[in-house]
Amino acid sequence: MKSARVEQVEALPADGAAYVRVTCDDGTSGVGEATFFTWPAAVAVIVEAFAPALRGIDPFDTEHHSLRLLRGASFRGMALNGAISAIDQALWDIKGKLLDEPVWRLLGGRVRAGVRAMRVIGGSSADELAAAGAQAVEDGYTAVKALVFGHEHHAMPHARRLDDLVARTAALRETVGPDVDIAIELHRNMGPADSLTLMDRIERFSPIFVEDPIPPDSVMSLGEIAEKARVPLAAGERNTTIWEFREYIEAAGIEVVRPDIGIAGGFTGVRKIAALAQARHQLIAPHAVPSGPVATAAHVQAGVASPGWEWQEYVPQADDPRCRDVVDAVVPLRDGWLVPPDRPGIGIDLVDAGLAAHPAGAFAGDAALRRGGEVAFR
């Protein structure tokens, strides 16, 4: 086995992602991605601040390094955990390259050949959503996640809003038929009573889960909804630590757990979250849109080695310049399945010229408004 020590840590924000490259003294490099996509430059500042403490470390001691960075100042949050997550991915990538093995083999080996892609679709009407579902089926997907709730719904009267959401769900199910899994994304846009009423009305369309019916502000509130809902609930994409996930897994009543490898601790954190879910027979459907190509690849590496990793949300990346330009290859999609590249480590590397062509962006902070002008849930 090769021996190496970390020599350089680079923060490389591009578009909505904060990419990281860690290089060792023998020239071996690894890559990672933080998915704090609203403010990637904030992650980059933290990565750069961590760099001096990481020089000279053994890249194999990922557990120690993750805890050291997390506990150093006793702060928490998505920018901090995004930095830790990206660095962790890069260190695992280095481990795979030094051992000449893919990361999935280091995580315990395969439990499946690939990860089933769940095509994320949307539309501003029932007809548009149904058309998007039909296209997904034609493209070979066997699962779709529908963004049924749009900004326009916040301005609708209660009854009209519910009727429209039901109509969109009905049109999608009628179009794709019973052989395609459908998930319903409410995107944190509803309150407890509204979401329960809607879920009662769409139960007959057999959604595999309803995601984020309310804002993820309270485990207790979500647990109260889960006690009354008759459809499976999914949540967790904004959680950043195993301790947050423990409460969601044990007390929030969810059936589908949604970690994001770009903010939830990288491989070191997500494999523990998957184990917590497995202990309660819960499924994994990671938050992976709008992830960039490195986080997508990292999810696939974790997914092929994790029992219960049932779906991975996905939008095509091969034709998206924000993804295609910044790496030397994107994860292959074959017949609706994401397949890990036949390369050591994560299986892809960053391209500097592509990164330079896509400067980092920032979220302007705007929010949807209700009819009276007050800020809506999200």
β-bridge pairing 333-334 and 337-338: antiparallel
CA-based Rg of the chain, rounded to a whole angstrom? 20
Cα–Cα distance, 52 to 118 (Å, whole number): 40
What is the CATH number for 328? 3.20.20.120
- Indicate the pLDDT class of residue 1, thresholds 50, 70 and 90: low
Say if residue 27 is in the same domain as residue 65: yes
pTM comes to 0.97
207-229, pLDDT tens digit by residue? 999 999 999 999 999 999 999 99
Segment 135-139 long-range contacts (CB within 8 Å, at least 24 positions apart): 136/176, 136/180, 137/176, 137/180, 139/336
Mean pLDDT of 128-150: 98
What is the CATH number for 81? 3.30.390.10
State the distance between the two ends of the chain, measured CA to CA, in whole angstroms: 49
In-domain check, residue 376: no
Say if residue 91 is in the same domain as residue 162: no
Cα–Cα distance, 267 to 104 (Å, whole number): 10
Q: How many domains does the chain have?
A: 2
Cα–Cα distance, 84 to 86 (Å, whole number): 6
In-domain check, residue 109: yes
Cα–Cα distance, 174 to 209 (Å, whole number): 17
In-domain check, residue 1: no
In-domain check, residue 194: yes
331-345, pLDDT tens digit by residue? 999 999 999 999 999
In-domain check, residue 367: no
In-domain check, residue 254: yes
Say if residue 110 is in the same domain as residue 166: yes
Cα–Cα distance, 122 to 62 (Å, whole number): 38
